[in-house]
Amino acid sequence: MRYISTRGNAPVLSFADVLLTGLAEDGGLYLPETWPEFSLPDWESLRGLPYPELAARVLAPFAAPDIDLETLRGLCAKAYANFDHPAIVPLTQVEDGLFVQELFHGPTLAFKDMAMQVLGQLFEHVLTQRNDHVTIVGATSGDTGSAAIEACRGRDRLSVIILHPKGRTSEVQRRQMTTVLDSNVTNLAVEGTFDDCQDLVKALFADLPFRREMHLSAVNSINWARIAAQIPYYVYAALNFGAPEREVSFAVPTGNFGNILAAWAARKMGLPIKHLCVGSNRNDILTRFLNANDMTIKGVVPSLSPSMDIQVSSNFERLLFELLGRDSAACARIMTGFRATGHMDVPEEVWENARTVFSGLALDDEQTEAEIRNLHQKSNYLADPHSAIGIAAGRKFRQPGVPMIAEATAHPAKFPDAMVAATGIHPALPVHLEDLFEREERYRTVPATAGAIKDAVRAAVLANAP
Ligand SMILES: *Cc1c(COP(=O)(O)O)cnc(C)c1O
């Protein structure tokens, strides 16, 4: 498969190159040149397969010819080997016609592991083939950093450097990063905010000589391989509920639009998905768009579901490009206007088109807490604040005869304060993290200047050189 940019002005790349490149040179995002389509017998042949095998087969057309099915099998088997549930992505019923798919059984207890574990394997494979090394630099407010660190730890061909805002992540989140002591992992506690961290990472990537010298690479959610690795669990769930003969719908707690975009991709490949429901917190740019064609940037307000506290959903650009009939010039024009004015001028027919598949629901913190309490009382199900928002969206938009599957994106033990406030229950951390609070931590505190970060990156890469 070859990949093209949504803005039409970047080189066409193969899967392995897209994996290492991330953002396209023209500022756009990569998408497959054509969508692979699975036939009815193709879908049927996937039913009942163990999850890693299913994942390899769904990824195969995207990775060909760079990586063959046999290799993908091995990589996916390793990626999901240390998940703590035999089904990897188990399904549970919570109400009539409303189901939950749990995506949080990986090492860091959030759905980011689903794709990031595969990415770690893919990087290692491609870099070994090319006898190369890359330095992954990223900023995190919590979940992404720990998932990236877990996926890259102990890999010779990868150095991973993660910036977090000092004192501004939860203690569980910080310890999930700082207690990983592998020599290729560096945690930088930046004296600043998450926005400062993001700006510093951008500054590093903008310094082209430094970027080339250090072989910088990114694993943020605009990396196509992350989206691709999220498609298989939608396939798994749909097949369980009778696809391809029967339609299903999904509800997804949404931030950067990466998770739900993977569901849309599965639909594009021929999986019979009727409806996709976006769940938001008070940072509701997507819900405002879906309800009123109002995609306008507002300031971020902190919420009970911090992984959805976003101003802009970067992956929305991929959907926009598709809904514009793949008109890259129009896409570039709209995105440039959005950056300049803070308002996205989406043509009326594109908005109408989006609404035939997508719906949105936003919950404030009070409603989120009430949803968590209700689910616990009525269904005896403990949902973290993100997952609870998805379930509420699923309930609102469910239709008779179409199973509605809500994606649960974080383990409740990641958000103990919210769980105690809503239910009185303090969920226990899974066994592999039980001693998290006794483990040794390692991180360096650095001032929020590009010079200090560059020095730290250079030192980390030198220290890890073979
Ligand atoms: C990242 C994350 C989300 C948002 O996913 P997107 O792909 O950015 O839409 C939702 N819930 C949790 C727990 C997350 O970590």
Q: Where along the chain do its domains lie?
A: 91-106+226-423
> Per residue in 93-150, pLDDT tens?
999 999 999 999 999 999 999 999 999 999 999 999 999 999 999 998 778 899 999 9
Q: What integer pLDDT is reported at residue 233 of this predicted model?
A: 98
Q: Is the minimum distance from the CB of 104 to ligand 1 under 6 angstroms?
A: no
CB-ligand 1 contact for 223 (6 Å cutoff): no
| pLDDT band with cut points at 50, 70 and 90 for residue 194 | confident
Indicate whether residue 259 lines ligand 1 (CB < 6 A): yes
Residue 211 tokens read as 């970027």
d(CA 367, CA 325): 38
Ligand 1 lined by 281 (C-beta under 6 Å): no
Residue 343 phi, psi dihedral angles, 5° rounding: -130, 130
Q: What is the per-residue pLDDT across 21-77, written as a single tens digit (0 to 9) for each?
A: 878 888 899 999 999 999 999 999 999 999 999 999 999 999 999 999 999 999 999
Burial-class residue 440 by CB neighbours within 10 Å (0-12, 13-18, 19+): exposed
For 382-394, how does the pLDDT look when each residue is reduced to its tens digit (9 = 90+)? 999 999 999 999 9
- The pLDDT of residue 25 is 83
Both tokens assigned to 146: 């720990």
- Put residue 127 in one of left, alpha, beta given phi > 0 → left and psi -120 to 50 → alpha: alpha
Q: From ligand 1's centre to the CA of 393, what distance in Å?
A: 15
pLDDT band of 295, cuts 50, 70, 90: very high
C-alpha dihedral, 178 to 252 to 281 to 372, nearest 10°:
-80
Q: How many CB atoms lie within 10 A of CB 400?
A: 6
Q: Which of 221, 260, 286, 307 to mutate to test the pocket of ligand 1 (most atoms within 8 A of CB)?
A: 307
List the catalytic residue out of 78, 112, 274, 454: 112
* Residue 191 to residue 441: CA distance in whole angstroms: 18
What does the pLDDT read at residue 463? 86
* SS3 state of residue 366: helix
Could you give the angle at which helices 171-178 and 143-152 cross, rounded to 10 degrees?
20
Ligand 1 pocket, residue 410 CB under 6 Å: yes
Atom of ligand 1 nearest to the CA of 112: 15
The Cβ-side half-sphere exposure at 229, using a 13 Å CA radius, reads 29
Mean pLDDT score of the chain: 95
Which residue type sits at 426? H
CA of 387 to the centre of ligand 1 (A): 10
- Strand-pair partners of 187: 162
Mean pLDDT computed over 301-307? 90
Neighbours of 245 (CB within 10 A): 9
Indicate whether 302 pLDDT > 80.
yes
Mean pLDDT calculated for residue range 413-418: 93
Pick the residue whose CA is nearest to atom 11 on ligand 1. 409
- pLDDT of residue 175 exceeding 90, the answer is yes
Sign of CA dihedral 274, 30, 230, 305: negative
How do residues 212-256 score in pLDDT, each as one tens digit?
A: 899 998 888 889 999 999 999 999 999 999 999 999 999 999 999
Record the tokens describing residue 442, joined without a space.
């390692």
The third-level CATH classification (topology) of the domain covering 91-106+226-423 is Rossmann fold (3.40.50)
pLDDT of amino acid 300: 84
What mean pLDDT do residues 170-185 have?
A: 93
User: Closest Cα partner for 59 from 95, 19, 10?
Assistant: 19
User: CA 251 → CA 125, 191, 371, 390, distances in Å?
Assistant: 33, 37, 15, 5
Q: Are 289 and 230 in contact (CB under 8 A)?
A: no
Find residue 188's DSSP bridge partners: 163, 444
**Dihedral, CA of residue 45, residue 50, residue 51 and residue 56, to nearest 10:** -60
Q: What is the best residue among 111, 177, 372 to mutate for testing ligand 1's pocket, by most ligand atoms within 8 Å of CB?
A: 111
For residues 219 and 272, the model is more confident at 272
Q: Where are the beta strands (DSSP E) in 44-119?
A: 91-95, 98-102
> In angstroms, rounded to a whole number, what is the distance separating the alpha carbons of residues 187 and 180?
9
pLDDT at 198: 84
301 in helix, strand or coil? coil
Which ligand 1 atom sits nearest the alpha carbon of residue 230? 7
Distance CA(274)–CA(290), nearest Å, equals: 16
Q: How far is CA 253 from CA 119, 286, 362, in A?
A: 22, 11, 10
CA-based nearest residue to 238, from 43, 422, 454, 453: 43
| Res 186 pLDDT > 90 | yes
Angle between helices 365-379 and 385-397 (to 10 degrees): 80
Residue 372 has pLDDT above 70, yes or no: yes
For residue 361, list its beta bridge partners.
Answer: 279
Q: Is 143 in the pocket of ligand 1 (CB under 6 A)?
A: yes
* Percent of the chain at pLDDT exceeding 90: 85
pLDDT > 90? residue 401: yes
Q: Is the CB of 186 under 6 A from ligand 1?
A: no
154 with 182: CB under 8 angstroms?
Answer: yes
- The pLDDT value recorded for residue 133 is 94
pTM summary value: 0.96
Rounded to whole angstroms, the Cα distance separating 445 from 11 reads 39
Task: Give the residue whose CA is nearest to atom 4 of ligand 1.
Answer: 255
Rounded distance between C-alpha atoms, residue 452 and residue 241, angstroms: 53
> What percent of the chain is modeled with pLDDT above 70?
100
Say what the pLDDT of residue 141 is.
78
pLDDT at 297 over 70: yes
Residue 166 known to be catalytic = no
The pLDDT value recorded for residue 466 is: 64
Name 99's bridge partners: 93, 405
